A = this chain, B = another copy of it.
Amino acid sequence: MKPINVKEKHEQFTATWHPHQIGVVDDMQVLLAKLQGEFVWHAHDNEDELFKVLKGTLYMQFRDRTEVVKEGELIIVPKGVEHCPMTKNNEIVHVLLFEKLTTAHTGKTEHQLTKTNYPKL
């Protein structure tokens, strides 16, 4: 029940594509992540996923198009929809995610970038 400063929390880690947990709301979690380059194509069969861009520009690739998500914008990826987050020009993009505690990082896709543990900040 203490205020959480999101920007300060983001400064506490440097790893990209590794979500860190800053809070839990019922059965969902608030994650922070730094994104750089291209991630992994995957879907979450049973969970929606919210991305809010706090810094930089996120390119959310879907199979049929790419949505540009700018600072201050959010996008909700519905369950079952394949997506692959990307940043351009090597930009490190800061995002806040909101998703179920059960959501697997890269869905059923296994990849060297896949994380199974999200550190708590």
Where the two chains meet, the residues of A that have a C-beta atom closer than 8 Å to any C-beta of B are 1-7, 23-26, 28, 30, 47-50, 52, 62, 67-70, 72-79, 81, 98-100
**Given A25-B48, A99-B25, is A74 in contact with B6 using a C-beta cutoff of 8 Å?**
yes
Tell me, in angstroms, the Cα distance from A52 to B30 when the chains sit together: 11
B75 touches A1 (CB 8 A): yes
CA distance A28 to B74 in the complex (A): 15
Contact status A50-B25, CB under 8 Å: yes
> What are 6 A-B contacts with C-beta separation under 8 Å?
A1-B75, A2-B75, A6-B72, A25-B28, A25-B50, A26-B28
Specify the chain B residue showing the minimal Cβ separation from A22: B74
Instruction: Note all chain B residues with C-beta closer than 8 A to A48.
Output: 24-26
Residues in B with CB closer than 8 Å to A25 are 28, 48-50, 76, 98-99
Q: In the complex, how many angstroms separate the beta carbon of A94 from the nearest chain B beta carbon?
A: 12
Residues on B with C-beta less than 8 A from A98 are 25, 28, 30, 98
Chain B residues contacting A24 (CB-CB under 8 Å) are: 48, 76
Whether B26 contacts A75 by the Cβ 8 Å rule is no
Taking a contact as CB atoms under 8 Å apart, the answer to whether A1 and B74 are in contact is: no
Q: Given A23-B50, A98-B98, A73–B5 Cβ distance below 8 Å?
A: yes
